[in-house]
Structure formats: structure tokens, C-alpha cells
């Protein structure tokens, strides 16, 4: 089964699809190895890992595509990838969708922010007219070669314009052909319940950003609310940053890392995670 078809099948299931956020290939492999059925490539984490800079629209389309292709190649589960604003007008969106599709990801997330965009839980975000985003969604659906390639339409209107406007935009994007609706940063459970009730026939996406504007609910609660997908986009990069900082603080202050050894993945475990055994087998197979 194609990965895109696999993703479509998962979206038709009433069970919540949990897609933790990968900020690089290694984190994607850890997510897949942990047993999750999908990986979400986070633009926030990618900006941090590629540039060491915040998610304020600095990454180019080609940089995002290169990272998406590497992640998609490395894991056997569907990859959902952040496509920001599509990097321009509908004509740019056509190229963006085709490049993401060629990269091997199964879904692209497009948002209605003014470019340069910001993280969906930062203040000061501005949105383009809904009519412009409708045309971007139509261009995206027309551009894909695989009908199972998923278009995720995100609106950032809630924070600046209220939930009613965000829902109105979501309905317009649904009618334009979006496969998944993502109303970014609802601020309480009642708002989250209104979102899923507004889209009974289209999967909705919940963004669980630790420390963000949306309540951080467990996956059972999100499933009961009726969401189709939950992404945990920033947690993995926060966890990695804290772990590395703790290691460096220990080395700097104590001049040894011996006390941290029980907390580290072992040499053998890490080699297994990144597939060294497969290369050893190939080495033996093709040995002269």
C-alpha cells in the first residue's frame, strides 16, 4: 500500500492519529521506532535545527523540501510536512505541492498567514483574505498527481479575529477541497468542541504545543472531542534541547559526564536505532 493511501486509511478511522513532531531525521526515526503511525515534520523545529533561528518565515521552500525528503526516506510511516504559506501565491503553491509530493511526504500543511509567517502560538500573526487562501487550496488540490496526497488547510484567524471567523474560514477551505482542517490555537475545550462539531465529515487537527495557547489534553480526551489528528510539534525539540543542555552543564561544571551515563542511550542501542546492523549485513553480502 502506498504511504499516501495508508494515511488516507488512517484518517478514515475513528481512532485519533497521533503524529509527534520531527525536527530532523534522527527524531523522525525515534518517533517511528516508538510505534507511532505517522510523523509530523515541524517547521518550528526545522527552523531551530537547520538555522538555529525562530519560526518567523526564514526557511525557504527548497530547504524545507530537502529536510522533508530526508525524513520521508528514513521512516516507513507516512510523513505530514509543514508547508508554511506555500511560499507565495497560488502559482507558487502549485510548485510547492509538487515538490513536497516528489519528496515522498504524504501530506502538506498550508496556512493562511501573511508572509513572512510566525509560529501559530506567537502573537502578532496576520492572515490574508480568506478568498486568497481558497484559491491556494484549489491550486494545491489541482497540483497533486496522487489523489491520496493530503492537503491540510490551517487558519490562524482565531487569535486576532475570533473563533467564528476561524470557523468560517475553515468551512471555506473545506469547500475548496482541503482534506483536513486545522483551526490553530483554540483557547479552551469549548472552542475545541465547536471546531470538531463544525466539521463532522472532515478530519480536524489539534496542535498540542506545550506552553502554547491551547489546553494540553491527553490523546484520549482529544479522541473523545472528535479530532482526527493530534500533532505534538514542539515537545521533541524541547526535550532534546533540555537534554543536551543538561549534558553540557554537567560536563562544564563537573568536568565529567559519568553521572549521566545511566540516562544516555547506549552505544549499541544507538547503532541499532540508526540501522548499523543493516549495513553490516550489506557489507557481508557484497564483500569481495
Give the span between the Cα atoms of 278 and 245, in whole angstroms.
32
What's the pLDDT at 115?
84
Instruction: Tell me the pTM.
Output: 0.94
Is 167 among the domain residues?
yes
Percent of the chain having pLDDT more than 70? 99
Give the span between the Cα atoms of 239 and 230, in whole angstroms.
18
Cα distances (Å, whole numbers) of residue 72 to 48, 95, 104, 107, 137: 19, 19, 6, 11, 23
Q: Kindly state the average pLDDT of the residues 83-103.
A: 97
Q: What are phi and psi of 261, to 5 degrees?
A: -55, -40
What's the pLDDT at 123?
74
Mean of pLDDT over the chain? 95
Instruction: Give 22's pLDDT tier (boundaries 50, 70, 90).
Output: very high
Within 10 angstroms of residue 20's Cβ, the number of other Cβ atoms is 22
The answer to whether the beta carbons of residues 103 and 94 sit under 8 Å apart is no
pLDDT tens-digit series, residues 202-241 = 999 999 999 889 999 999 999 999 999 999 999 999 999 9
What's the pLDDT at 119?
76
Is 256 among the domain residues?
no
What's the pLDDT at 116?
80
What's the pLDDT at 124?
73
Burial state string for 42-78 with b = 16 or more CB within 10 A and e = fewer than 16? bbbbbbbbbeeeebebebebeebbebbbebbebbebb
Number of domains in the chain: 1
Q: Is 23 helix (H, G, I), strand (E, B) or coil?
A: coil
What's the pLDDT at 218?
96
Is 220 among the domain residues?
yes
C-alpha cell at 58: 526564514
Q: Kindly state the average pLDDT of the residues 245-250.
A: 97
Is 250 among the domain residues?
no
What's the pLDDT at 125?
84
What's the pLDDT at 120?
62
Give the span between the Cα atoms of 203 and 14, in whole angstroms.
9
Distance of CA 194 to the CA centre of its chain: 23
What's the pLDDT at 199?
98
The answer to whether the beta carbons of residues 125 and 161 sit under 8 Å apart is no
Give the span between the Cα atoms of 78 and 37, in whole angstroms.
7
The answer to whether the beta carbons of residues 167 and 194 sit under 8 Å apart is yes
What's the pLDDT at 198?
98
Percent of the chain having pLDDT more than 90? 92
Q: How many CA atoms lie within 13 A of 194 on its CB side?
A: 17
Q: Kindly state the average pLDDT of the residues 70-99.
A: 97
Within 10 angstroms of residue 278's Cβ, the number of other Cβ atoms is 10
Is 284 among the domain residues?
no
What's the pLDDT at 38?
98
In the chain the beta strands, taken as DSSP E runs, fall at 17-22, 39-41, 79-82, 107-111, 150-155, 180-183, 205-207, 229-232
What's the pLDDT at 2?
95
Q: Kindly state the average pLDDT of the residues 42-53.
A: 95
Is 280 among the domain residues?
no
What's the pLDDT at 152?
98
Is 196 among the domain residues?
yes
pLDDT tens-digit series, residues 101-129 = 999 999 999 999 998 887 767 677 899 99
Domain at 175, CATH number: 3.20.20.60
Is 265 among the domain residues?
no
Task: Determine the structural domain holding residue 67 and report its residue range.
Answer: 3-240
The answer to whether the beta carbons of residues 113 and 85 sit under 8 Å apart is yes
What's the pLDDT at 230?
98
Whether the predicted pLDDT of 97 surpasses 90 = yes
Amino acid at each position: 500500500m502506498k504511504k499516501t493511501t495508508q494515511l488516507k486509511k488512517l484518517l478514515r478511522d475513528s481512532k485519533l492519529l497521533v503524529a509527534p513532531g520531527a525536527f530532523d531525521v534522527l527524531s523522525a526515526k525515534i518517533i517511528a521506532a516508538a510505534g507511532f503511525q505517522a510523523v509530523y515534520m515541524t517547521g518550528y523545529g526545522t527552523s531551530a535545527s537547520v538555522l538555529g533561528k525562530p519560526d518567523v518565515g526564514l526557511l525557504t521552500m527548497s530547504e524545507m523540501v530537502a529536510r522533508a525528503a530526508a525524513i520521508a526516506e528514513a521512516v516507513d510511516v507516512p510523513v505530514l510536512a509543514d508547508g508554511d504559506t506555500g511560499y507565495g501565491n497560488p502559482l507558487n503553491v502549485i510548485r510547492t505541492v509538487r515538490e513536497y509530493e516528489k519528496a515522498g511526504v504524504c501530506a502538506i500543511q498550508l496556512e493562511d498567514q501573511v508572509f513572512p509567517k510566525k509560529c501559530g502560538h506567537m502573537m502578532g500573526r496576520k492572515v490574508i483574505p480568506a478568498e486568497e487562501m481558497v484559491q491556494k487550496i484549489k491550486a494545491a488540490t489541482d497540483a497533486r498527481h496522487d489523489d491520496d496526497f493530503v492537503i491540510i488547510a490551517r487558519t490562524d484567524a482565531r487569535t486576532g479575529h475570533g473563533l467564528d471567523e476561524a470557523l468560517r474560514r475553515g468551512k471555506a477551505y473545506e469547500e475548496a477541497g482541503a482534506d483536513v482542517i486545522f483551526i490553530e490555537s483554540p483557547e479552551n475545550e469549548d472552542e475545541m468542541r465547536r471546531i470538531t462539531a463544525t466539521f463532522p465529515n472532515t478530519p480536524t487537527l489539534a496542535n498540542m504545543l506545550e506552553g502554547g495557547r491551547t489546553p494540553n489534553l491527553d490523546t484520549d480526551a482529544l479522541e473523545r472531542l472528535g479530532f482526527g489528528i493530534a500533532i505534538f510539534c514542539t515537545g521533541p525539540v524541547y526535550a532534546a534541547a533540555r537534554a543536551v543542555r543538561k549534558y553540557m552543564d554537567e560536563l562544564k561544571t563537573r568536568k565529567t559526564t559519568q553521572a549521566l551515563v545511566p540516562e544516555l542511550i547506549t552505544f549499541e542501542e544507538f547503532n541499532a536505532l540508526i540501522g548499523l546492523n543493516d549495513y553490516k549485513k550489506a557489507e557481508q553480502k557484497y564483500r569481495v
